[in-house]
Amino acid sequence: MSENKNLVLSNQNQAIDGEIVVAPEVIEVIVGIAASKVSGVYGMRGNLASNVAELFGSSVHDKGVYLTNDEGKIKIDLYCFLNYGVSVPKTAIDMQEKVKQQVLYMTDLEIEEVNVHVVGVVPEKTTLPDLNELFDSEDEED
């Protein structure tokens, strides 16, 4: 028998019957977008499938996001790359706050914990010297 992993939102307005159910994949997308918008985040870590999908032009918003639901307590693990020169603790705290804020705003769900795993730091792009300029300067010296 398959286990139902959907999250049921509590109904604040008792006058309307029914329930609101949110798939975990929806929360992963919300978290992925919120985390990637934080200043200092270069990108999220993906897997082979998400990298192939992006290669063909599809945008994958849930890459690097892993959600676990233990008895109604939602825990999120984020795997990301940061830009070189940013404060890692400050950026990680900003990611945690932004993720909790967006999930609460969009789904009314409280997040138990947000764990940020920094996978790597991406250096700034440096401009390579023009080879013609290097060789021209040697010729002028002769």
CATH number at residue 38: 3.30.70.1350
136 assigned to some structural domain:
no
135 assigned to some structural domain:
no
Strand pairing category for 41-44 and 20-22: unpaired
Which carries the bigger pLDDT value, residue 29 or residue 142?
A: 29
pLDDT tens digits, one per residue of 73-108: 899 999 999 999 999 999 999 999 999 999 999 998
Q: Which domain holds residue 65?
A: 7-11+22-123
142 assigned to some structural domain:
no
pLDDT band at 45 (very low <50, low <70, confident <90, very high): confident
- Distance in angstroms (rounded) separating the CA atoms of residues 110 and 25: 16
Q: What are phi and psi of 7, to 5 degrees?
A: -105, 130
pLDDT band at 49 (very low <50, low <70, confident <90, very high): very low
Domains held by the chain: number: 1
1 assigned to some structural domain:
no
Least confident of 16-20, 81-85, 135-139: 135-139
Q: What are phi and psi of 126, to 5 degrees?
A: -105, 145
| H or E element at residue 94 | helix 88-107
130 assigned to some structural domain:
no
pLDDT band at 50 (very low <50, low <70, confident <90, very high): very low
132 assigned to some structural domain:
no
128 assigned to some structural domain:
no
102 assigned to some structural domain:
yes
